[in-house]
């Protein structure tokens, strides 16, 4: 009880403490990026354009246009179908409104593919208090998906998604910021990928196995908790890190951690190097090989639902120009970022391997991720 | 009536704690990093959202390749200097 009261009192004290400066709108900026992902036989690339502009002292508007041009064939496609090409276009428009220490954000996103349409809106509020050393953020998102299937005009399914987010950022010292976040995500509806299949033993097949469509539960609820920290070093450099724990009603439990270091050279160069680790345990209804086609009510063979671990290492280089606050363009930068990703699966086998059923080599793959972009602040 | 005794003990402890230091300690807490001490915190190299387009893309890549989702964005702000 005393602990509860102390927490409550601390919360009230934090809320009432000290007068301070107002919350700040995001800076006016424009970004133009080319992104590229290549790995597991798939190439995805395209542009992303972001524009953000203030209107008066209280409003800021933003728009983002993003394209994924996808080609190739991942291990799932290589096992059951032919290489393909498709394009996903995502458009987001948003508005931020600031009043004293409160920042409100509202945004709408549409994502469109030839066989998939998603619309979502997001509302967020963040409040600075305790002399602006503490920021509390709350957010809610809701999305509707329409799922189709190429070659099957009668296939039409839907899914709804909701997210509740909580975040607290605390300035600990003049060199250290720490944050905690929690997010609950609830999905309902058709949550399968209509093209993905499970593998089951089939003595009538030449290979000894066949494929049939996956069957997922039509609800999924997940909770994720994370902590992050940024620390400014005695020279102009910083180290940062984050950790996240995740679990959901499908039985997946995951953990990831990242550590990074940012170093500056003179007034122009910023270099960032980072390392990230990820691991997860499989969903309850995941198996690499089922004994028969209708073995269970729910069956999945999506490798993202299996037990596996991944590691990524990357570096980013930025070159900045400062032109001055009174200039039309105040600052600009050119940035190049590269990450190497590697995933090794514990119970997902490479069915293209020529080996007895269920004894194929375990699957693993590497990917290269590149971001090249220009940013302008005005 | 052990439970009543326990409740009374807890209640007394709460009152004691609240009246001896806890409240005064809490009310004595003041923002300990002054606005003029926040130059390091305001440096873009301390920002979680220094490059929003690149961070959104990176988040999308990991979400597509991993089963976990959510709680991967910073709350932002915290020093009135974002």
What is the pLDDT, as a whole number, of residue B73? 67
Chain A residues within 8 A of B40 when measuring between CB atoms? 174-175, 232
The beta-carbon neighbor of A9 closest among B26, B46, B58 is B26
Confidence of residue B11 (pLDDT cuts 50, 70, 90): low
Residue B12 domain-assigned (yes or no): yes
Q: Which domain holds residue B15?
A: 1-26
Domain spans, chain A: 212-378
Q: Chain A 133-152, CB below 8 Å of chain B: which residues? A: 133-137
Contact assessment for residue A39 and residue A367, using Cβ atoms and an 8 Å cutoff: yes
Contact assessment for residue A52 and residue A60, using Cβ atoms and an 8 Å cutoff: yes
Residue B6 domain-assigned (yes or no): yes
Q: Per-residue confidence of chain A (378 residues) as pLDDT tens digits?
A: 444 444 333 333 333 333 334 588 999 999 999 999 999 999 999 999 999 999 999 999 999 999 999 999 888 888 877 778 899 999 999 999 999 999 999 999 999 999 999 999 999 999 999 989 999 999 999 999 999 998 899 999 999 999 999 999 999 999 999 999 999 999 999 999 888 999 999 999 999 999 999 999 999 999 999 999 999 999 999 999 999 999 999 999 999 999 999 999 999 999 999 999 999 999 999 999 999 999 999 999 999 999 999 999 999 999 999 998 889 999 999 999 999 999 999 999 999 999 999 999 999 999 999 999 999 999
Dist CA A226 CA A229 (whole Å): 10
Residue from B45, B48, B49 to probe the interface with A (highest A Cβ count within 10 Å): B45
Q: Chain A 305-334, CB below 8 Å of chain B: which residues? A: 305, 310, 316, 318
Residue from A34, A133, A342, A346 to probe the interface with B (highest B Cβ count within 10 Å): A133
What is the pLDDT, as a whole number, of residue A81? 73
Number of domains in chain B: 1
- Whether A337 has its CB under 8 Å from any CB of chain B: the answer is yes
The beta-carbon neighbor of B53 closest among A20, A33, A242 is A33
What is the pLDDT, as a whole number, of residue B80? 41
- Whether A126 has its CB under 8 Å from any CB of chain B: the answer is yes
For A25, the closest chain B residue by CA position comes to B82
Q: Tell if the CB–CB gap between B78 and A128 is shorter than 8 Å.
A: yes
Q: Tell if the CB–CB gap between B41 and A232 is shorter than 8 Å.
A: yes
Q: Tell if the CB–CB gap between A175 and B40 is shorter than 8 Å.
A: yes
What is the pLDDT, as a whole number, of residue B24? 55
Q: Tell if the CB–CB gap between A244 and B71 is shorter than 8 Å.
A: yes
The beta-carbon neighbor of A6 closest among B10, B22, B40 is B22
Helix (H) / strand (E) element for A159: namely: strand A157-173
Q: Which of A130, A44, A254, A187 is nearest to B72 (CA)?
A: A254
Count the residues in chain A. Answer: 378
Residue B78 domain-assigned (yes or no): no
Name the maximum alpha-carbon separation found in chain A.
76
The per-residue pLDDT for range B14-69, each reduced to its tens digit, is 555 555 555 556 567 888 899 899 999 999 999 988 899 999 999 999 999 999 99
Q: Tell if the CB–CB gap between B76 and A169 is shorter than 8 Å.
A: yes
- Whether A271 has its CB under 8 Å from any CB of chain B: the answer is no
Beta bridge partners of A310: A278, A343
Chain A residues within 8 A of B62 when measuring between CB atoms? 278
What is the pLDDT, as a whole number, of residue B82? 36
Residue B54 domain-assigned (yes or no): no
Dist CA A122 CA A105 (whole Å): 8
How far, in Å, are A118, A283, A302, A348 from residue A359 at the CA level?
A: 39, 21, 18, 11
Dist CA A214 CA A302 (whole Å): 9
What is the pLDDT, as a whole number, of residue A79? 82
Which one-letter DSSP state was computed for residue B36?
A: G
Confidence of residue B5 (pLDDT cuts 50, 70, 90): low
Dist CA A331 CA A262 (whole Å): 19
């Amino acid at each position: 009880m005393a602990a509860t009261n102390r927490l409550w009192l601390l919360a009230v004290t934090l809320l009432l403490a000290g007068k301070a400066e107002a919350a700040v709108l995001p800076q006016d900026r424009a970004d133009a990026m080319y992104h590229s992902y290549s790995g597991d036989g798939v190439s995805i690339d395209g542009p992303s354009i972001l524009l953000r502009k203030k209107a008066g002292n209280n409003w800021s508007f933003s728009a983002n246009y993003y394209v994924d041009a996808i080609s190739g064939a991942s291990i799932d496609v290589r096992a059951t179908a032919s290489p393909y090409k498709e394009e996903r276009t995502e458009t987001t428009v948003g508005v931020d409104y600031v009043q004293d220490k409160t920042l409100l954000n509202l945004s709408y996103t549409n994502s469109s593919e030839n066989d998939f349409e998603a619309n979502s809106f997001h509302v967020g509020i963040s409040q600075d208090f305790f002399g602006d050393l503490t920021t509390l953020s709350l957010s809610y998102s809701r999305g509707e998906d329409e799922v189709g299937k190429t070659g099957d005009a009668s296939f039409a399914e839907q899914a709804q998604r909701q997210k509740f987010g909580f975040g607290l950022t605390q300035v600990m010292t003049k060199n250290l910021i720490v944050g905690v976040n929690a997010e609950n995500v609830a999905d309902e509806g058709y949550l399968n990928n209509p093209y993905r299949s499970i593998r089951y033993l089939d003595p009538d097949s030449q290979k000894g196995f066949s494929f049939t469509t996956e069957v997922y539960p039509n609800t999924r609820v997940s909770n994720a908790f994370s902590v992050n920290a940024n620390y400014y070093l005695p020279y102009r450099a910083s180290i940062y890190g984050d950790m996240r724990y995740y679990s959901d009603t499908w039985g997946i439990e995951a953990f990831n951690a990242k550590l990074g270091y940012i170093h500056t050279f003179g007034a122009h160069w910023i270099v960032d190097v980072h390392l990230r680790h990820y691991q997860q345990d499989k969903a309850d209804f995941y198996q690499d090989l089922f004994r028969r086609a209708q073995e269970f009510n729910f069956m999945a063979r999506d490798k993202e639902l299996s037990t596996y671990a991944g590691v990524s290492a990357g570096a980013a280089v930025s070159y900045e120009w400062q032109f001055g606050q009174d200039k039309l363009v105040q600052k600009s930068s050119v940035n190049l970022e590269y990450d190497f990703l590697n995933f090794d699966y514990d119970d997902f086998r490479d069915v293209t391997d020529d080996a007895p059923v269920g004894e194929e080599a375990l699957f693993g793959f590497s990917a290269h991720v590149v971001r090249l972009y220009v940013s302008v602040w005005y | 009536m052990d439970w009543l005794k326990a409740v009374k003990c807890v209640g007394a402890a709460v009152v004691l704690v609240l009246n001896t230091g806890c409240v005064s300690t809490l009310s004595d807490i003041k923002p300990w990093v002054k606005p003029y001490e926040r130059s390091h915190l305001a440096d873009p190299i301390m920002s979680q959202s220094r490059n929003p387009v690149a961070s959104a893309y990176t988040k999308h890549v990991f979400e597509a390749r991993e089963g976990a989702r959510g709680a991967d964005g910073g709350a932002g702000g915290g020093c009135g200097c974002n």
